[in-house]
Amino acid sequence: MIKENVQKILQELPEGVLLVAAVKSRSIEEIKDAVDAGVKIIGENYLQETEKLFPYIEHIVKWHYIGSIQKKKIKKIVKIFDMIETIDSVDVLLEIDRRARDEGKIMPVLIEVNSGKEKQKSGVYPEQAEHLVDAAASLKNVLIQGLMTMGPFVDDPEKLRPYFKLTKELFDHIRVRETKNVQMKYLSMGMSDSYKVAIQEGANIVRIGTSIFGPRRR
């Protein structure tokens, strides 16, 4: 089933839209099936899980960090991952820059936007995103490559459209400013229920778990 699901999604995605398979809580066998079927980017929320998976899969794929960031884990996150999609503070940005410098690496990152402005959600409020972009301009070992958003939990993906629209507008606004160390290339939005709406609104990275692997067991 996993292979068929991946192939179906890959066929549906317009050219230029990247699939990130969100693999939290899935087994190595399940993930390998997805990779065999053509998944090129794995999205992980948890460092510990990643450390278990990594020896089996390593650099056959790219790794995107899509979980919340604890400062003490940044060193390892920077080491393993090819992109961090969930930047939400200047503090985190500075620590990533420092650790990336130690690694001799330039870390591509996306700013996570709390497009629904929900108190309990991670990400920066849309009006704070430019502040993070400006903070990154002087950093040599991080490269801001775009924005990521989840949007609120809703019963109908259509209801996410305004939040995706808002995030796309912010993306375009930052892109035309042409700030140093900022290359606005990626707009990561849309999950299993909502990726079609997200693509219509300009997403070029979609993060999909359930539609590939089925319902989560935990």
Using the rule CB under 6 A, is 207 a contact of ligand PLP? yes
Give CA separation, 71 vs 96, 99, 109, 121, 174, in Å: 9, 11, 15, 18, 26
For residue 68, give the nearest of 55, 54, 85, 48 by alpha carbon.
85
Q: How far is the CB of 57 from ligand PLP (least distance, A)?
A: 18
- The reply to whether 122 sits near ligand PLP by the rule CB under 6 A is no
Which residues inside 52-71 make contact with ligand PLP, applying CB under 6 A? 66
The C-alpha angle with vertex 76 and arms to 61 and 35, in degrees rounded to 5, equals 15
128 binds ligand PLP (CB under 6 A): no
Interaction between residue 22 and ligand PLP (CB under 6 A): yes
Please report which helix (H) or strand (E) contains residue 92, including its range. helix 90-103
Nearest approach in angstroms of CB 137 to ligand PLP is 26
If one asks whether residue 208 binds ligand PLP (CB under 6 A), the answer comes out as yes
Shortest Å distance, C-beta 20 to ligand PLP: 8
How many chain residues interact with ligand PLP (CB under 6 A)? 12
Residue in the shown chain whose Cβ atom is closest to ligand PLP: 209
Smallest distance, ligand PLP to C-beta of residue 106, A: 23
Binding residues for ligand PLP restricted to 76-95, rule: CB under 6 A? none
Closest-CA residue to 97 (of 68, 123, 65, 135): 135
Q: For 15-38, b where at least 16 C-beta lie within 10 A, e where not — what string?
A: eebbbbbbbbebeeebbbbbbebe
Residues 46 and 78: their CA atoms lie apart, in Å, by: 13
> Which residues contact ligand PLP by CB under 6 A?
22, 24, 45, 66, 150, 191-192, 207-211
